[in-house]
Chains A and B, each alone.
Chain A
């Protein structure tokens, strides 16, 4: 529809001014993090924004790296990668089961899924610790990967089911005539068509697992900690070494920021479409 409303220049300038002031304010925390990480200690106490006689150095990164920070990054990569791939495979299968079969307890299963997607991590941690000890899963990568994968299932099944429902049934019928089984149809036909939805789920889940602190602290010892927990080992309440702390912080966010920047469109869709929090 044609809009016949004149937008005045004054309005345009003021609304842009407001928007960009907010943008700058939102950006300052990240700027502070990176700026502090590349300054020597003596300059940080005068403020990272103070560029008078500024020196830039990578010494903080060097120290953090030598202190073993790379280990946390490797741990994060390992946990987040597997805790992203596994739930997508499993949730996709279940989502396909929900879209293409009717069965007696479907309503019950569905209500269960709806309800458990808000279960907090704290709600399961006490029995999980016992279970992990009994099954020797404590401080094992696969233990925390399985738990993160399971917590991803409810919302991932929803998200993918909604997408699968929109795929025309003709594809399935044709595949069936070609003699494919249901499992075969899922892997060869449905999953490839649903790739955009799968990427959305993957980005949201990867970033979410990368951020997790609670399961990391409770299910792993420090040597297997991901960056979210590892970065806290540089915190000291009374004598903060801001250079090292911010260098560790910056190293912790490189991967998720990169994933986010490259796949922003998919991430936004995943956040708005699923109810991941």
Chain B
């Protein structure tokens, strides 16, 4: 599409609403958050510039370190697991020998279409020491029942399991779409050439699935960095126990419990920066792929 004349009334009618909204509700607040991170502010009086005081305070804030530790632990366990599970399910559901594949694809996505708070309720029920089925199944294998969520040393696994159940559907769907877009001739040629299952997977399927892999890893990383709902669910109307804090919850907590809006903005800035860092690979690819040159 060539250079249509653009300084027309119609052009502005088409473009303006979107960019005005983006400016008011995303772009301006985003930069404002960054600025407010350098102020002391209770949300009521005028913000006072404080330099890097908020960032200095983080270093001495045990709540902050607990949050970082939890975020990291959840991230490190969740990311490889969700990628492997998604890839495994996708390969399985792509196999034409599997009967009822459409029903299975539907089941995979169940957790993805429910509010995460309901996912949280479901897993609270499943992991309950009395009414939960997980303890009953573990009993069969000789593991004594325990209060997984109430126990500070295991509560974090609730967050990981709930997130996995909800999010594997996304990973599976993206990998499946990737598999369906593949040229099956390459795979079949390899089959005929006598490559074994592992070789076909490692040297042919995986490289071809790289675009899907980038999307899954990036989106899953963003998803789990922002984990909030499953933590909130555990609060039961009060504040969450300290050992369960994560960065996203801390932003909420500093705003509504401590009224330290400047500190909340500083933590939000940190969270945003880490999300951007993990998105860079995918964003660069998107710019290259759907770049403006193509119109």
Q: Show the binding face of A for B, using Cβ within 8 Å.
A: 1, 3-5, 7, 11-12, 15-16, 18-20, 22-23, 26-30, 32-33, 36, 44-45, 47-49, 90-91, 93-94, 96-97, 99-103, 106-107, 109-116, 118-131, 146-147, 149-151, 153-154, 157-158, 161-162, 165, 169, 181-183, 186, 207, 210-214, 217-218, 227-229, 231-233, 235-238, 240, 242, 245-246, 249, 252-253, 256-257, 259-261, 264, 267-268, 271-273, 275, 277
Contacts and interface: CB of A to CB of B under 8 A. Distances in A.
B209 interface: no
Is chain B's binding surface mostly helix, strand, loop or mixed? helix
Contacts of B87: none
13 contacts: A32-B126, A94-B19, A112-B22, A120-B222, A151-B26, A182-B8, A218-B256, A233-B237, A235-B233, A240-B124, A268-B177, A275-B215, A277-B223
A181 B14 CA distance: 11
Contact of A29 (B165, B232, B271): B165
Contacts of B282: 275
Interface residues of B, number: 114
B213 interface: no
A118 B43 contact: no
Nearest to A4: B192
Contact of B115 (A30, A120, A123, A228): A228
A32 B26 CA distance: 39
Nearest to B21: A150
A112 B237 CA distance: 38
B4 interface: yes
Given A94-B18, A182-B8, A217 B232 contact: yes
A271 B13 contact: no
Contacts of A240: 124-125, 128
Interface of B: 1-4, 6, 8, 10-11, 13-15, 17-19, 21-22, 24-30, 32-33, 36, 43, 89, 92-93, 95, 97-100, 103-119, 121-126, 128, 130-131, 133, 136, 165, 170, 173-174, 176-177, 184-185, 188, 191-192, 215, 219, 222-223, 225-226, 228-229, 232-238, 247-248, 251-252, 255-256, 261, 264-265, 268-269, 271-272, 275-276, 279, 282-283, 286-287, 290-292, 294-295
Contact of B30 (A3, A90, A109, A119): A119
A124 B115 contact: no
